[in-house]
Structures are given as C-alpha cells and as structure tokens.
A and B are shown apart, each in its own frame.
Chain A
C-alpha cells in the first residue's frame, strides 16, 4: 500500500483538494482510504464518506494532533493494509505551524492557501519546507499577480518540491494531483522510520516562544473566557 501524509494549516483546503484527487483516482479503480487527525472534532468524515471513501478519525483532545499522529501512525498503516486500500491518505491539521507529520520515505504533501497572504510561506516550518508536493488552493479568489508572488515565495522556501495549484471548489488540478499521489512509494511498514523533523513539545504558540499578545498571534489550543 502507498502512504501519503497531507498536512497544512486549518481550513487551507486539505479535505477539499484530497477529495477532488480521490474522485479522479476512483475513476481509475484506485481504492483509497483516509485517516483524519484533528484536535477536538472534525466535519471531514462526512465529506469523505459522501465521496464513498472509508474514513477513520483520530481526535487528540488536549494533545497536539501531530504528536498524537506519530504515536498512532503505525496502527493507521495496519488498518489500511487490513482494509485492502491501494492508497492511504493521512490528513492532519497542523495547528502550530511548527510540527510536521512528514516521514522520511513517505510522500509528503503540504496544502496552503493563497488567502493566507504572501508572507505565510516564510512562517510555516518543516510542514512546508520539507514536503515533496505543495498544493496551493483558493487561487480563484486572489489576483493573478498574488498567485504568482505566492508560488514564488513557496519556491523560495522549498525549491525542490513540486508545486501545484488546485481549486478545491471546481476541482481544477485535482486530476493532476491524483497522478502525483500515485507516484508515492510503497510503504510496507513504518517501524524504525524517521520523522523528517523533530516536533517541539508545544501545544500553542506561547509554548513555542511567542511573546506577542493578541488574537493574531494565538494558535493551537487556545481557550477563550466567556464574558457574557
């Protein structure tokens, strides 16, 4: 079975583009399964199921979903093999922009969206810099110039990746993404494999050394007081 890790900031379009790619693969008779890692809850399951994809959810609760991911990934692989998938996609929502679920020898995809602004590629750590394929979404709502600058900035921080623009709504580029996913190497087992980069023991941006106060700087497991 082929294994693929798909990571990216929350709501960047991971599920949307994955579904478009899977739809195209299904037409070619490829049997795909998905595991979704998230912290508290996820709507993604029903989206995948609508596409006729079998899904397993991993909710990490108080832990960083990426840390939770590493502790469970071998079991995910075993589940996929048992189900007889040709290809298993693991989607995880990177919360801290610093952890990356990418594993050496396993095709690593990062999904980021144009709307997040041209400075975002600089700010995302190994999740982007050490991925093999970078999918850029939401090109439909920004200008051509911003699209060009954005993909250039992605290239600056990861000159080796294949960069592909996919529209998560219309599916333009989904077929091509599917082709790229099929190039993933076979992963018979993961025992002893290495993560591409170590994960900090952090739950939120303040664990990571963030010092600025304000909602723009809070990421990850942020809890808000209720003043009503």
Chain B
C-alpha cells in the first residue's frame, strides 16, 4: 500500500518506515556524527530525546535539527529527481562584449549531443566564458553575457544549486586524492547521486573506461595507481554515466593516452554537450562549430565546413600512422625510411601505408 506522503511528513515517520521510503535518509544522522535512531521512533522524537551534552560535543543545536533534516530530505528528493526535472533541451549563450567593449554579435544555442570547440591563445577569455555558463550569467558578469536554459532565463535559485550544476569539468592536471579501489571510488560517487542499481552502474562504468584506455585495469586497482590515460578514461566514463551536468568541458585531451575520438563519442552518446578546449586537428574538426576567442570575447564562430571535414579523414590516417610508429618504438622495432609517406597514404590508405614506413 503506497504511502500518502502529503499527509505525513518524513520527520514524523518511524525510522523503519522512513528508511523504506528513503534509504539514504540514514546519511543525515551519520554525517552529523549521530547514531541512527531506533526503528520505532521518528526523527522528531529522536531530536527531542538527544542528550544536551552530546549535542554540545558535536557542535549541534537542538532547535535547528528539524530544519536541517527537512532541508536534507528536500536535497535527497531533488537529487533523485534531478536527472529528470533538470531536463535540458538547449542552452543559449547571448553575446556580451570583449575586454575593449566591442559587442559580440551572436546568440549561440547548443543542444545535447553537440560538440563545440573552443580555440584561442591562453588569456583570451576561455575561462571567463566557462564561468559565465557555469554560473548562468545574467548580464551581471564582466562580459555582460546571459545564459538561457531551454530558451528562458533560469530561476535565481538554480544558479547556485547542486542539482542544476551545468558544467562538469575534466581537466588535465587532475589527481585522485582518495585512497580507494576503482570499484569503491565509483560506488561512492554513485551513492552520492542516489543511483538505484549501484553495482551494475559501477560495472558498466569500469567496462567503458577499460574500452577507452589503452592499458586495462581491474575494479580492484587503486585509483591512485592508475596511469594518466586510465584516470582520464575512468573520469570520462564516470561523467558520462553519473554526472547530471548537461555540459562536459574537456581540455587537453590530446595528450591523455586514450582513444580520444571514442571518448568524445561516449559523451555525445550519453547526450552531453561537449565543450572542448583543443587545438588538436582531429578533435577540433570533430566539432560542429568552433568558437574563436580573442581579447576576452568570442571574435568569430566558425561552422566546420565540408572541406574541413574531408581533411579530417586524412588527419585520422596520419594519426593512425603516427600511432603505429609509436607502438613500433615501444616494442623496440626499427623505423623505416619515411619518404613517400604522404603519397602512400593517398594511394593505399592508412594501414597499408604503415607497412612502407615501419620495418618489422
């Protein structure tokens, strides 16, 4: 018999009932250093029964506990519903101005599954652009840009809410500071997202990450023992499956030692909007558009042309070839003469051209 939640507040439910409805509610007590209340009593009763000295020790105030508990339960509900309620069909960036006040004349609308590249020298305004999206600027940041969600200005409360965080960031110099195995690590993340079937989600993520990383790792590998490439692969798989943020920013993926094209496809398949700060020819041309940054503003938006896309095939062949040479070096092989390299690619295509330049 389903409970009528409207009639009875969580705070006055006996613990057994509460935990049945909201299994994560127990976290409230443990995170404050309190013992779990007995099955029969409600949180409200528990709060009144707590020893004053214990509360003093824990740095807690009795009268604020009910409010904290209610806020915590709201947080749980929001996180659970987060994925659906925060459904994003489009994000629009309304141009502002650059550092000299020159207007950026564009309205850029991006949709899930799109790849947008960001190019330009360091200091040209790329970070400010991301911050504008991250904080859902409303003409109140130094660039004067505004961000619209599904065509409308976001609610003010949305701007700082955990559940509506727009950007997940996968950056180059990230480390794992926790001493956990891969499996424990992903499980912990899944718990914080209140995922229903944690073991199977965890297994999917680890398998996906292994697909992306060149070298394999197991669920029992400590995260701190992962190579740079494995870490990036794990974070890409994890973000695509567990993060509720609709936008994923990746920077410097080119040196990551993973199948970067597949990494981007993985995110796109999960309906993420992928923003990539990159000057890697293959990645930059994979995008639908490139935003060119200059002097703190977006100077131009280039749509990837058909001609550029055609080059992409060539770049991929060249990349495969360099990859094969890299492998040959790793295996202690000799590298043959490189002349005829381009001709060979043109005539025979990638794999055969390799035979010409790598002496096995």
Contacts and interface: CB of A to CB of B under 8 A. Distances in A.
Interface of A: 24, 27, 98, 100, 114-115, 117-118, 121-122, 125-126, 129-130, 139-146, 148-149, 151-153, 155-160, 162-164, 170, 172-173, 175-176, 179, 197-198, 209
B29 to A, nearest CB: 10
Interface stretch (B10-18, B175-183, B320-328, B351-359): B175-183
Contacts of B131: 172-173, 175-176
B135 A155 contact: no
A176 B54 CA distance: 38
A116 to B, nearest CB: 9
Interface on chain B toward A: helix, strand, loop, or mixed SS?
helix
Contact of A115 (B134, B160, B177, B243): B177
Interface in B96-148: 127, 130-131, 134-135, 140-142
How many chain B residues sit at the interface, stated as a range, is 35 or more
Nearest to A151: B162
24 contacts: A24-B142, A27-B142, A117-B177, A117-B178, A122-B32, A125-B59, A140-B171, A142-B175, A142-B176, A144-B168, A144-B170, A144-B238, A144-B239, A146-B177, A148-B242, A149-B189, A152-B192, A153-B31, A156-B28, A158-B68, A159-B68, A172-B127, A175-B142, A179-B140
A162 to B, nearest CB: 5
Contact of B185 (A121, A139, A145): A145
A26 B24 CA distance: 44
A159 B75 contact: yes
Nearest to B24: A156
Contacts of A125: 58-59
A122 B29 CA distance: 11
B306 to A, nearest CB: 35
Pick the 7 closest A-B CB pairs, nearest first: A125-B59, A159-B71, A152-B192, A156-B31, A145-B189, A126-B59, A159-B72
